[in-house]
Amino acid sequence: MRGIPSSFLVFFFAFVFLLEFISYCGFRMLINQLRPKLKTYISIIYISLSISATALLLYSFANPEIIRQSRNYTFFIVVISVAFINLFPKGYFALATLISYPFRPLGNLKGQLIWLYGSFLISLGIFLVILHGIFVGRYNLDIKEHELYFSDLPIQLDGLKVVQLSDFHLGSFAKNVHNLDRSVKIIQQIEPDVLLFTGDLVNNFSDELAGYEPYLKKLTARYGKLAIQGNHDYGDYSQWRDSTSKLQNLELIRNGLTNAGFDLLLNRWTKVQIRDTSICIIGVENWGHKPFPQYARLDMALDSIPINYFKILMTHDPEHWKAKVVPETDIPLTLSGHTHGGQFALKIAGVEFSPIYFYQKLWGGLYQSDNQYLYVNRGLGTIGFPGRIEMRPEITILTLRRAKSH
């Protein structure tokens, strides 16, 4: 693809071919006891599927603009799905095959076959887990509920129900409105006081909004719904004919949010009247470590806020909280998205861990620094890998409390 060095591509596909070859050698050992005719048929099927998957990958790399500039993500979803389904199970099985070879010099052919059969079953399990993540996991909604306690919360706001949504990435739904429709119905049942959307409405293009406008309009809250933009909403990951086209795309995305009834906060704050008091909702444009664009102006967004207002900040990238919000402000509650929780997690004895932690420490859930809280929503959609494995799409319900009961 454009921007990827040719030397890396040569190395990558050499690795893919080596992986395919080693895993096939291991597979041949497994089927060696079968009748010759059956063994031939199975080998032909195996090789044909491997060639097809690799050819699809080669075609996508040879024609990067088909993916980069397409307004239809179907081909991209197919390529990524096939790559994950094919390479990850085979990667494990190829490694297991290499580990099995020392069995032979020791004269333990039976031990080698037992090892390979067990490894093949694990590879099959990996295959099924990935399939489940693509076809089931990405639609398996999770509702996370938390009560947060603040000593300076006005008594009139005690029990305020804030619902957070994030990272729709509408293009990745491939025009399947079911997930958004179901989310809307759930939120209507929740009856939130305030609804906050923390960015990444689309992957790149305003066209992705088509067909979803009625569902966005149905999202309602008693005292209003507000939104910010995420890194993908700016069109920075696509190539444009000129700067005017990019700005027009950005304006259409912003109009999509405002036409749906969202108050779009771009480096500004607004007062939300709740009963006989007010709450201050602050929204900044995207902030992130490179290569993510930094449009956020926190100083501008905080300008002229009355001292006694309880403040909630929306900032798409949670790293902003650690880098700027905690050291420079006293904002008690910050809401972010962006990470998707890595769309993959391991759960052991009830403890959830995402490998994205090694890249982004604040990857999902609730964090606290003294009297300041951050909540990172895992998002509703997907980007890149079109699935979720033990990292379900999320609707967050945060209930604000004035003081914790003892």
Q: 142-401: what fold?
A: Purple Acid Phosphatase; chain A, domain 2 (3.60.21)
Q: What is the mean pLDDT of the chain?
A: 92
Of 158, 197, 192, the closest CA to residue 400 belongs to 158
pLDDT at 317 over 70: yes
E strand or H helix at 227, and its extent? Answer: strand 225-227
Most confident of 65-74, 174-183, 184-193: 184-193
Pick the range with the lowest mean pLDDT from 40-54, 57-71, 110-124, 349-363: 57-71
pLDDT band at 264 (very low <50, low <70, confident <90, very high): very high
Residue 9: per-residue pLDDT: 84
**What pLDDT does residue 111 have?**
86
What whole-number percentage of the chain has pLDDT above 90? 79
Whether residue 206 has pLDDT greater than 90: yes
Higher per-residue pLDDT: 158 or 33: 158
Residue 4's pLDDT band, with cuts at 50, 70 and 90, is low
Query: 235 with 254: CB under 8 angstroms?
Result: no
pLDDT band at 1 (very low <50, low <70, confident <90, very high): very low
Rounded to an integer, the average pLDDT of 372-381 is 97
Question: Can you tell me the mean pLDDT for 318-330?
Answer: 96
Are the beta carbons of 255 and 199 closer than 8 angstroms? no
Among positive and negative, which fits the CA dihedral 376, 377, 378, 381?
negative
**Phi/psi of residue 248, each to 5°?**
-65, -40
Is pLDDT of 108 > 90? no
Q: How confident is the model at residue 401 (pLDDT cuts 50, 70, 90)?
A: very high
Question: Is the pLDDT score of 64 beyond 50?
Answer: yes
Q: What pLDDT score was predicted for residue 244?
A: 95
* Mean pLDDT of the region 133-148: 96
Buried b / exposed e across 244-257, counting CB within 10 Å, b at 16+? eebeebbeebbebb
Q: Are 284 and 277 in contact (CB under 8 A)?
A: no
What is the mean pLDDT of the segment spanning 166-184?
92
Range(s) within the chain of domains with CATH label 3.60.21.10: 142-401
Classify the C-alpha dihedral 352-403-334-219 as positive or negative.
Answer: positive
pLDDT at 3 over 70: no
Say how far residue 85 (Cα) sits from the centre of its chain.
18
Residue 194 has pLDDT above 80, yes or no: yes
Instruction: Say yes or no to pLDDT of 406 above 50.
Output: no
Res 405: pLDDT: 53
The one-letter amino acid at 53: A
| Span 201-225, average pLDDT | 96
Q: Are strands 268-274 and 263-264 parallel, antiparallel or unpaired?
A: unpaired
Three-state DSSP at 305 gives coil
pTM above 0.75, yes or no: yes
- Kindly report, residue by residue over 82-103, the tens digit of the pLDDT: 999 999 999 999 999 999 988 7
What is the pLDDT at residue 311? 97
Share of residues in the chain with pLDDT > 70 (%) = 97
pLDDT confidence of residue 96: 96
Check if the beta carbon of residue 399 is closer than 8 Å to that of residue 366. Answer: no
Sorted by sequence, the CB contacts under 8 Å of residue 114 that are 6+ apart come out as none
